Amino acid sequence: MTTIATTTPRTTHADLQSWVDEVAALTQPDEVVWCDGSQEEWDRLTTQLVENGTFVRLDPAKKPNSFLCQSDPTDVARVEDRTFIASEREEDAGPTNNWVDPAELKATMTELYRGSMRGRTMYVIPFVMGHLDATVPMFGVEVTDSAYVVTNMRIMARIGTPVLQTMEELQAPFVKGLHSVGDPLVDGRPDVPWPCSDTKYIAHFPETREIWSYGSGYGGNALLGKKCYALRIASAMARDEGWMAEHMLILKLTSPQGTTHYVAGAFPSQCGKTNLAMIEPALEGWSAEMVGDDIAWMRFGPDGRLYAVNPEFGLFGVAPGTGMHTNPQAVRTIEQGNSIFTNVALTDDGDVWWEGLSEAPPSHLTDWKGNDWTPESGVPSSHPNSRFTTPAKQTPMIAPEYDNPDGVPIDAILFGGRRKTTVPLVYESRDWAHGVFVGATLSSETTAAATGAVGVVRRDPMAMLPFIGYHAGDYMQHWLDIGAHADPAKLPKIFQVNWFRRDEEDGSFLWPGYGDNARVLKWVVERLDGTADAVETPVGLVPTPGAIDTTGLGIGDEQLAKALRVDVEDWKAEVPLIEEWFARIGDRLPAPLADELATLKEHVEQA
Ligand code: GDP
Ligand code: PGA
Ligand code: MN
Ligand code: MN
């Protein structure tokens, strides 16, 4: 780590240097630090964060090299209502994104950034999403006044000197990500543990591939490589260049016979991606390995198949609900340390705890707001969107293919969400266009991953509603175009799953989920191989009663039948909701999707 005056040229990458100079002149930090990504830099920053009261160092015997961070209670999730796609033309942002004229937004935000880093250090983080040795490495640079961001970025992305050197050699283009917590230290005011501002903007300029983020220090608002670059900006790049940037886990599955399949799954935030990516199959002989848990970039390979890479380097996982009985792989990953925990509770012996980590809560904790907590407190000890940031490579079940810059060929795509009713445990789409319809009409109950109401059903196309960097109708068309470009036999088959259906009588989950989801994966794989039975229903192909392997399953046939049931009345009620959604997309709704809706309507009316 080198401290420099803002005017000292630090890189031979001319465009980067002039941008950094420009940002420093605007934001007026006390110093500019170029991040090298080293262990020494991590040690220095984490020590400094402990001294500032931002981090608590956990007991190294329990969680080596790990830290707890409690954010400002107002800055705990992505802020969708403050997230903007500032495309040149309003119609290109579409009906699902907030839009402001880019010149106007830049003018507004420039005034916010003016002097916003006073009294602080400005860090320059060169990073690459995906592999540095990819055919086209995808560079970015985040400039930030948050050391919390730097430490999290070091876990979540490949950062530092090797990246900068390659950028310099290639004089490579890069995505510019400007981030400020918006809390300058002026008039001798001391710092607070979690600086942020009540004014927040998470702004994207898709044409110029720029990100301007202001006012929040949290996750997807502030770690700009993740949602802002790898989904919103990359989705616009992918549309222009014929590939796909998707909100998907990537899983490698090996059957008892030793055949391997790669499955991608798009579920909205807090709907089970990380859990499925780390599944320990409940079925004898099946094994699973993780390639990615949140984002997939997919491109056609020379053989005409779709290949997916995980552009990330770490996991930013939801803590509550993560325990040995649900996601043992995640527990083993974080136990190795080198992790940051945000908004969970602190135990009296210097470890972390959250709801679901163990069955019996400790008798005393310091909760995520810093208050004394006991099981009698009557409030959760951890925020529902509390997170662990941990290196992907520490996952015991990481697939060796994670290191392959060419990625893995995807055999099946799962779309899933949280639906208490209507959507069966699993069904298969009839073909690509029908599968795109299933994805385009995906719906889910909202979660704590974003600020706002929880538990409200909304349409979330391909689980990308908060992450599409352009018009949602054009995005659906891009999916159809991908299909049109390919040999249908080489395209992944598309399925919908729903782990969250409830029993109408007692409200309990009909399906045990987690490791038992392997039973659904087995059916999916057998459908690919043409060996599993399915029955046609108005919505698609559902497993026949005997087609799901129930060996050792803790639920009875009757309950399984409820989980799989396609209720025509439910679907009759679903059709107008889909019509309403498509009406919102407007005249950029692709005609084949309107045709698919007409077919669904016909099917449910005839059933
Ligand atoms: P992600 O944000 O999509 O990665 O979602 P996670 O995998 O972190 O899961 C979010 C929440 O859903 C956690 O509280 C999990 O315990 C819960 N969850 C995940 N998979 C299942 C499942 O199969 N069944 C049920 N009932 N809950 C699940
Ligand atoms: P996620 O995103 O809920 O999809 O993991 C949250 C975030 O990045 O803040
Ligand atoms: Mn996500
Ligand atoms: Mn996740």
220 CB near ligand 2 (under 6 Å): yes
Catalytic option among 35, 69, 228, 271: 271
227 CB near ligand 2 (under 6 Å): yes
* pLDDT band of 594, cuts 50, 70, 90: very high
Amino acid 302: pLDDT:
97
Residue 7 has pLDDT above 90, yes or no: no
273 CB near ligand 2 (under 6 Å): no
Q: Hey, whose CA ends up nearest to atom 5 of ligand 2?
A: 269
Amino acid 348: pLDDT:
98
- What tens digit of pLDDT does each residue of 447-461 get? 999 999 999 999 999
- Percent of the chain whose pLDDT exceeds 90: 98
387 CB near ligand 2 (under 6 Å): no
Q: Hey, whose CA ends up nearest to atom 7 of ligand 2?
A: 220
206 CB near ligand 2 (under 6 Å): no
Amino acid 10: pLDDT:
80
What is the Å distance from ligand 2's center to 40 Cα?
28
Task: Flag whether 337 is marked binding.
Answer: no
Please give the number of the atom of ligand 1 that sits closest to the Cα of 277.
7
Residue in this structure with the two tokens 């000292």, named with its chain if needed: 8
Residue 3 has pLDDT above 60, yes or no: no
Residues in Cβ contact with 597 at an 8 Å cutoff, skipping those fewer than 6 apart: 437, 441, 575, 578, 579, 582
Catalytic site residue 271? yes
Q: Hey, whose CA ends up nearest to atom 9 of ligand 2?
A: 220
What is the Å distance from ligand 4's center to 449 Cα?
10
Residues in Cβ contact with 259 at an 8 Å cutoff, skipping those fewer than 6 apart: 525, 529
- In angstroms, the CA 331 to CA 324 distance is 6
Q: Hey, whose CA ends up nearest to atom 8 of ligand 2?
A: 220
Task: Flag whether 2 is marked binding.
Answer: no
- Percent of the chain whose pLDDT exceeds 70: 99
Average pLDDT over residues 58-82: 98
Residue 6 has pLDDT above 60, yes or no: no
Average pLDDT over residues 548-577: 97
- In angstroms, the CA 527 to CA 126 distance is 44
What is the Å distance from ligand 4's center to 79 Cα?
17
* pLDDT band of 545, cuts 50, 70, 90: confident
For 427-472, the DSSP string reads: EE-SSHHHHHHHHHT-EEE--TTBSS-SS-EEE-GGG-TTT-SS-H
Query: To test ligand 1's pocket by mutation, which of 270, 444, 467, 503 has the most ligand atoms within 8 angstroms of CB?
Result: 270
For 346-382, letters b (16+ CB in 10 Å) and e give bbeebbbbbbbbeeebbeebbbbeeeebeeeeeeebb
* pLDDT band of 2, cuts 50, 70, 90: very low
- In angstroms, the CA 354 to CA 346 distance is 9
Average pLDDT over residues 466-481: 98
Q: Hey, whose CA ends up nearest to atom 1 of ligand 2?
A: 269
Please give the number of the atom of ligand 2 that sits closest to the Cα of 247.
4
What is the Å distance from ligand 4's center to 166 Cα?
30
Amino acid 135: pLDDT:
95
317 CB near ligand 2 (under 6 Å): no
- In angstroms, the CA 142 to CA 179 distance is 7
316 CB near ligand 2 (under 6 Å): yes
Q: Hey, whose CA ends up nearest to atom 17 of ligand 1?
A: 272
What is the Å distance from ligand 3's center to 247 Cα?
6
Residue 409 has pLDDT above 90, yes or no: yes
What is the Å distance from ligand 1's center to 32 Cα?
40
Q: Hey, whose CA ends up nearest to atom 8 of ligand 1?
A: 318
Residue 1 has pLDDT above 70, yes or no: no
Residue 471 has pLDDT above 70, yes or no: yes
Is 565 within 8 Å of 424 (Cβ atoms)?
yes
Please give the number of the atom of ligand 2 that sits closest to the Cα of 77.
9
Q: Which ligand is nearest to the CA of 226?
A: 2
Strand, coil or helix: 257: coil
- In angstroms, the CA 329 to CA 556 distance is 28
Is 166 within 8 Å of 132 (Cβ atoms)?
yes
Task: Flag whether 386 is marked binding.
Answer: yes
Please give the number of the atom of ligand 2 that sits closest to the Cα of 318.
5
Query: To test ligand 2's pocket by mutation, which of 148, 227, 275, 444 has the most ligand atoms within 8 angstroms of CB?
Result: 227
Query: To test ligand 2's pocket by mutation, which of 78, 223, 386 has the most ligand atoms within 8 angstroms of CB?
Result: 78
Task: Flag whether 270 is marked binding.
Answer: yes
Amino acid 5: pLDDT:
53
Report which of 56, 44, 78 is spatially closest to residue 200, judged by C-alpha positions.
78
Report residues near ion ligand 3: CB below 5 Å.
269, 294
Average pLDDT over residues 70-82: 98
The gap from C-alpha 515 to its chain's centroid, in whole angstroms, comes to 21
Query: To test ligand 1's pocket by mutation, which of 226, 271, 445, 511 has the most ligand atoms within 8 angstroms of CB?
Result: 271
Q: Which ligand is nearest to the CA of 266?
A: 1
- What tens digit of pLDDT does each residue of 197-237 get? 999 999 999 999 999 999 999 999 999 999 999 999 999 99
Please give the number of the atom of ligand 2 that sits closest to the Cα of 274.
5
Q: What is the mean pLDDT of the chain?
A: 97
Task: Flag whether 530 is marked binding.
Answer: no
Residues with CB under 6 A from ligand 1: 267, 269-275, 317-318, 320-321, 326, 499-500, 509, 513-514, 517
Q: Alpha carbon of 162 to those of 132, 338, 397, 432: distances in Å? A: 8, 21, 27, 41
